[in-house]
């Protein structure tokens, strides 16, 4: 079965929530490049500054990685970058994390929230703990943001309003539950590769890391087969306004 394209015509604003600088750049940013080129507004919310990701002193690493993330955002047309200061490497799922993500959802008011996986095991091995905490907290914060009585101080004291996003999406892989895809053949792919290349100092600190120009096309070509296109980024997409499947199953 050929995977369908994400219904981009229903997207006006997308908020991407990830744990670290560079988390968006392993393929997903190619889809972002396509969206911004079509006029969709995209914001990134980074929960940490990535200070534990290099051998440099943490504050030096944090400054460097945030600067590289800003450069990566420029490559794919992302104008809104919000970086929080939760501790890198020991990100904790809990109310503080949910509250901060909820605040940004209420501020930005996206149609789509793009999160990360929250499973312990992935096709690449055990997922990193920060990724799991970020993914689970984002799911909960999407629901929190629409409830006036959850984190009510954001409404009463900060002047925000409840907001319910329609879509929640996470990156997917062929055969691992992907439901939709985005064709990134051509310019979106080139910009996606360049966005990972913007993390030059970080990548230089990783021994034997493949060149972005080799790594990203390899993954997107594999994904493209699921959409019958040359290169694609795949997602698991949840329409939060759709009725549960068991209510629409007429079989």
Q: Is the pLDDT of residue 34 over 90?
A: yes
The size of the chain, in residues, is: 251
Rg for the chain (alpha carbons), in Å? Answer: 18
pLDDT at residue 227 tops 80 = yes
Q: Report the C-alpha gap between 166 and 239 in whole angstroms.
A: 6
Q: Is 16 helix (H, G, I), strand (E, B) or coil?
A: strand
State the average pLDDT over residues 26-50. Answer: 97
Q: Is the pLDDT of residue 199 over 80?
A: yes
pLDDT digits (tens, 9 = 90+) for 169-187: 999 987 778 999 999 999 9
Residue pLDDT, tens place only, 125-169: 667 899 999 999 999 999 999 999 999 999 999 999 999 999 999
Which are the contacts of 112, defined by CB distance < 8 A and separation ≥ 6?
Answer: 11, 13, 14, 15, 165, 166, 167, 168, 169
Domains of the chain: 11-241 (3.40.50.10320)
Q: What is the mean pLDDT of residues 1-12?
A: 91
Instruction: Kindly tell me the burial class for residue 170, based on how many C-beta atoms sit within 10 Å of its own C-beta (0-12, 13-18, 19 or more).
Output: buried
Determine the pLDDT at residue 241. Answer: 86
pLDDT of residue 173: 83
Question: Would you state the pLDDT for residue 75?
Answer: 98
Confidence bin at 118 (pLDDT 50/70/90): confident
- Retrieve residue 153's tokens: 């101080």
Rounded to an integer, the average pLDDT of 39-60 is 97
List the structure tokens of 51: 């200070």
Q: What is the pLDDT of residue 73?
A: 98
Give the up-direction half-sphere exposure of residue 91: CA atoms within 13 A in the CB hemisphere: 30
Over pLDDT 90: what percentage of the chain?
Answer: 87
Give yes or no for residue 119 having a pLDDT over 90. Answer: no
CA–CA dist 86, 70 (Å, integer): 18
Q: Which pair of tokens denotes residue 195?
A: 């966005």
Tokens matching residue 126: 């055990």
- Bigger pLDDT: 117 vs 223: 223
Please identify which residue in the block is written with the tokens 């929640």: 168
The Cα 157–Cα 145 span in angstroms is 15
Q: What is the pLDDT of residue 126?
A: 65
Residue 166's pLDDT is 96
């Amino acid at each position: 079965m050929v995977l369908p394209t994400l219904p981009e015509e229903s997207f006006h604003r997308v908020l991407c929530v990830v744990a670290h600088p560079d988390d968006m750049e392993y393929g997903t940013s190619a889809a972002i490049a396509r969206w911004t080129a079509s006029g969709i507004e995209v914001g990134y919310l980074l929960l940490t500054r990535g200070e534990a990701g290099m051998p440099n002193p943490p504050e030096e690493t944090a400054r460097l990685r945030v600067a590289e993330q800003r450069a990566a955002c420029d490559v794919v047309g992302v104008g809104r970058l919000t970086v929080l200061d939760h501790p890198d490497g020991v990100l904790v799922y809990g109310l503080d994390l949910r509250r901060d993500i909820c605040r940004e959802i209420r501020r930005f008011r996206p149609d789509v929230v793009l999160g990360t996986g929250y499973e312990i095991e992935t096709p690449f091995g055990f997922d990193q703990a920060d990724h799991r905490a970020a993914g689970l907290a984002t799911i909960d914060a999407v629901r929190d943001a629409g409830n006036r009585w959850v984190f009510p101080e954001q409404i009463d004291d900060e002047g925000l309003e409840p907001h319910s996003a329609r879509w929640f999406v996470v990156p997917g892989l062929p055969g691992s539950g992907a439901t939709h895809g985005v064709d990134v053949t051509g310019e979106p792919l080139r910009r996606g590769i360049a966005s990972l290349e913007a993390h030059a100092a970080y990548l230089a600190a990783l021994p034997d890391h493949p060149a972005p120009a080799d790594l990203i096309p390899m993954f997107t070509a594999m994904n493209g087969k699921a959409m019958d296109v040359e290169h694609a980024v795949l997602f698991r997409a949840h329409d939060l306004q759709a009725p549960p499947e068991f209510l629409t199953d007429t079989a």
